[in-house]
Amino acid sequence: MGAAEAPVHKQAYLDIASKKEYTEGKHIISGEDAAGEIKRGFCMREVLTIALPKGKLLARSLELLRGFGIPCADVGRESRRLTFDFPACRARLIICRPTDIPTYVEYGAADAGFVGKDTIVEQNRDVAELLDLKYGACRFIVAAPEEALPPRRPDGGYDLKAFNRARVATKFPRVARLFFTEQGMQVTTIKLHGNIELAPKVGLAEMIVDIVSSGATLKENKLVEIASIFEATTRLIANRVTYRLRFDAIRALTDNLREQVNGAGREEKAG
């Protein structure tokens, strides 16, 4: 809403409050009807739309939002339903593919979203990262076949420079490029969409960059972790414009989630 429009809406409210007739184009409607129309418009703008990821991250995301006061116990039970409205809370939840959430948030289709740090770094979308929610942890690693490992450095780590100018298969080419550039290495990144572990077996690449939780898949495919890149957890992100225009609402959500996350951390340490 531009600055020049504000007095118009203020006067409209004053007129409606005094039961005057409100002119909309050539049509004259009652003050009560106009109040309803304007309030509905304002309420739609006041609704906070939050994008949530399908899959294994959804349950914990919903748990946190219930702690924030959104009664979302039934969300996710209907697999084909993707939007859930909570008028009393002025909130709307939309269920998305995890990799799509930064796009929804950047373009304003969602005001905020829960998404993995891996997706944030890889996509490099123009969103505000507000909070580490500390669940859904995984690690970005570099791995190579156990029969073709690089030599060890004096400190015990693997000397990645032996793979300079090698090929790297990954679902995360930006993460891979950033990491190897920091190491002063030139590599060729090959983007794949799945079964990354297959690439070294068939000679497509000498290394892979992937995310792991337990490392079991690496062992099954006779791959060895030769470098750790960073740990990724779920983050709260927000649209940059919404964050400024609706600062109080976004801050209330952020502060509540921070209290829940920190409280859970204290309970775990106490246990």
Residue range 64-91: mean pLDDT, rounded = 91
Instruction: Give the chain's mean pLDDT.
Output: 85
Instruction: Write out pLDDT tens, residues 44-57.
Output: 458 999 999 999 99
| Homologous superfamily of 138-231 | Periplasmic binding protein-like II (3.40.190.10)
For the chain, give the DSSP string: --GGGHHHHHHHHHHHHTT--EEETTEEE-HHHHHHHHHHHHHHHH-EEEEEESGGGHHHHHHHHHHHT---TTTTSSTT--EEEEGGGTEEEEEE-GGGHHHHHHTTSSSEEEEEHHHHHHH--S-EEEEE---S-EEEEEEEETTSPPPBPTTSSB-GGGGTT-EEEES-HHHHHHHHHHTT---EEEE-SS-TTHHHHTTS-SEEEEEESSSHHHHHTTEEEEEEEEEE-EEEEE-HHHHHHTHHHHHHHHHHHHHHHHHHHHHHHH-
Residue pLDDT, tens place only, 146-170: 999 999 999 999 999 999 999 999 9
Which stretch of 64-78, 154-168, 223-237 has the lowest confidence by average pLDDT? 64-78
Chain segment 188-224, per-residue pLDDT in tens: 999 999 999 999 999 999 999 999 988 899 999 999 9
Residue ranges of domains in the chain: 3-44, 47-136+234-270, 138-231
More confident residue, 110 or 21: 110
Fold for domain 47-136+234-270? D-Maltodextrin-Binding Protein; domain 2 (3.40.190)
What's the pLDDT at 127? 98
Q: Is 47-136+234-270's fold the same as 138-231's?
A: yes
pTM of the model: 0.78
